[in-house]
Amino acid sequence: MTDPQEQQSKVVATGDGSHTIYSSQFDQHYHNPNGAVAESKHVFFEQSRLLDDIRNSNPITILEVGFGTGLNLLLLMDYVLDMDSNSTINFYSIEGFPISSQTSENLNYFQHLSHSNLANHLPAIFDNLSDGMNKFQLNSQVTLHLFNGMFESFNPDDLRADYIFHDAFSPDVNPELWTADTFKKLADFSTKDALLTTYCAASKAQGAMAWAGWKVAKTQGALGKREMIIASLSEEPLADFNRINEEHYAHRYEERDFD
């Protein structure tokens, strides 16, 4: 009998040759069809200071909303090895609907990594998931804390993220992960200078972040998308970006102008 999750997932080649998955459950691809790897690198690594922290071997804590195919984790580990970094990294991620180990084996990420063997981690991760928090010591530097469950049940002790990868399905199909309450909870898990990046640039998402206390800016989007969001709880990390008027957006969100 076919696994119900397998019926919902289809591996698809994107414009840069790397794979993504189409989810019939959400009627969306996990990544930009113009390039899965290219989008992830642009949004989650190149637009923030994360690569500098890796290069300087700083300790890093990341919180990802939407583990998906595990691509962001693989790219992170690839950058660490490329830069011969000594960073110790705690990578927290949340996934409510994990793909199967078999699906992960069909992904071609090994072709897009400098260290192709890193892709071997994915089947083992998906094959050994239990409900709730799972811990995987991937190497001497990178620890994966993968929560198999819904965001509202995620409540780890003492998490203070330096970076947040907000990589959920779009607000149109996954609205519960783009609310002000969601961004308030993410703020509670963050350091004061944490940087949040997401591929999305929807005005309602900007309003939700502003209402939750985030400083919000827009920067160049990936692969044909005009803009994306970068946010922080402090103004200083956003000094080089085009800030929005948070008070105005928060007021509009509260008045439900974006509905």
Residue 120 belongs to domain with CATH number = 3.40.50.150
Residue 6 has pLDDT above 80, yes or no: no
**Predicted confidence band at 8 (pLDDT cuts at 50, 70, 90)?**
low
Mean pLDDT of 212-238: 96
The residues pairing with 144 across neighbouring beta strands, listed in sequence order, are 91, 136
For residue 6, being part of any structural domain is answered with no
pLDDT score at 3: 44
pLDDT of amino acid 224? 79
Global pTM exceeds 0.85? yes
Asked, for residue 1, whether it belongs to a domain, the answer is no
Residue 259 domain-assigned (yes or no): no
Looking only at the bridges linking them, the beta strands covering 161-166 and 60-65 are parallel
CA-based Rg of the chain, rounded to a whole angstrom? 17
The answer to whether position 172 is within a domain reads yes
25: in domain: no
CB atoms within 10 A of CB 52: 9
